[in-house]
Amino acid sequence: MVEIVLRPSAPSTKTHNIPGNMAIWAAILSEMSEFAIMFIVYFLAKVHNPVLFSEGPARLSTMAGASNTVIMLTSSFFVVRAVIAMRENKPQTSVRWLWGAVSCGVLYLIIKYFEYEWNTAQGLSTETNIFYAVYYYVTFNHFLHVGWGTAAIVWVIYRLNTDIYTQEEHEGLINIALYWHMIDLAWITIFPLLYVIR
Amino acid sequence: MYNAHIKLINNLWMLLILLTLFSAYMAEQTTPGLLSVSIMAVVLGIKGRIIVDYFMELKESHIVLRGLMRLYFFVIPAMIILVYLYPEQIAKWTAL
């Protein structure tokens, strides 16, 4: 059996150490709570409007939703590889992985823009019915998170390029990586709820 | 050490992509039912657990953070199944 040890020099307090710092975890837990409230609204609206929530996903583009899921998961993978590269003291490799993540973020935003345009062409809007109101509220909120998350990765790239981070100290990179994974987690939940489950 | 970890991360990413494509296929090809809804809920739980444990590296980290994040991906899939099974009961409980 292969044991995966991410930080060989880390102390043996493996049940108490924290990836990143407490500030980013406060932000992540706050954001996860915000999305949890949206998901509760979704479930409540669904049980009170079963027909609208059964028919709603069929008029959305499953292709757009699935494509953006693949893109978000791939961006998260790129971010993980960027962190691993930094631990191997390969900052330029880390930068390349991060540009990959930024490209995914931008591609996600472009696809989401055209998805909204496509919806509009079909006559769908926040006022069509409660399913689409929930859909636009949740997905636009996530859209904003992807936008500023992408900008934050660009900021980390700038700091990497100016040698602010080292192999031993790159907590800013870890924090943004964790935040980006949180954005990914929100999307992998949104995808089945709004696009898949009828 | 790093090579083994990179290989694990690469494989998990491919698994996540396959699970996503499987979900999209089910959305387009299957008739909604308890089995398909349960499968989609379980797929969501698996994907969330992979990201929490391996991408966020919480598998061997802070026990409370790990517990909270893992709990999220038990509760949401459970809610999906409960809402499918008992929509009228839940609607009755939550009516204003």
User: What percent of chain A is predicted at pLDDT more than 70?
Assistant: 92
CB A152 within 8 A of CB A118: no
**Nearest residue to A176 via CA among A103, A82, A106, A85:** A82
Residues 159-198 of A with CB under 8 A from B: 178, 181, 184-185, 188-189, 191-193, 195-198
pLDDT band at residue B23 using 50, 70 and 90 as cut-offs: confident
ipTM exceeds 0.90: yes
DSSP sequence for A131-177: HHHHHHHHHHHHHHHHHHHHHHHHHHHHHHHTT---SS--HHHHHHH
Partner A, chain B 72-91, Cβ-Cβ below 8 Å: 72, 76, 79-80, 83-84, 87-88, 90-91
Q: Are the C-beta atoms of A24 and A179 separated by less than 8 Å?
A: yes
Distance from CA of B13 to the nearest CA of A (A): 6
| Cβ atoms within 10 Å of A82's Cβ, excluding its own | 29
Instruction: Tell me: pLDDT of A10 over 90.
Output: no
For residue A160, what are its two tokens?
């990497």
Minimal Cβ distance to B20: which of A36, A69, A178: A69
Look at residue A67 and tell me whether its pLDDT is greater than 60: yes
Among chain A residues, the shortest Cα distance to B19 is held by A70
Contacts of A77 (CB under 8 A, 6+ apart): B9, B10, B13, B16, B55
pLDDT at A13: 43
Q: Is the dihedral of CA A146, A32, A26, A74 positive or negative?
A: negative
Query: Which chain A residues contact residue B8 at CB under 8 A?
Result: 4
What pLDDT, on the 0 to 100 scale, is given for residue B1?
62
The confidence band for B38, taking pLDDT boundaries of 50, 70 and 90, is: very high
CA distance A181 to chain B (A): 7
Q: Which of residues 95-124 of A touch B (CB under 8 A)?
A: none
Tokens 């069509």 belong to which residue? A128
**Residue A122 vs residues A49, A67, A114, A140, A195: alpha-carbon distances, Å:** 21, 20, 12, 18, 16
Interface list for A 55-74 with B (CB within 8 A): 57, 62-63, 65-66, 69-70, 73-74
Percent of chain A at pLDDT > 90 equals 84
> How much is the pLDDT for A16?
59
Give me the torsion for CA of A167, A173, A174, A178, rounded to 10°. -160
Q: How far apart are CA A11 and CA A17, in angstroms?
A: 9
Provide CB contacts within 8 A for B79, sequence distance 6+.
Answer: A39, A43
| Greater model confidence, B31 or A143 | A143
Mean pLDDT of chain B: 92
Nearest-CA distance from B35 to chain A in Å? 12
Q: What count of other Cβ atoms lies within 10 Å of the Cβ of residue A103?
A: 15
* Residue indicated by tokens 């961006």: A75
- Residues in Cβ contact with A124 at an 8 Å cutoff, skipping those fewer than 6 apart: A59, A132
Model pLDDT, residue A94: 97
In Å, how far from its chain's centre is CA A167?
25
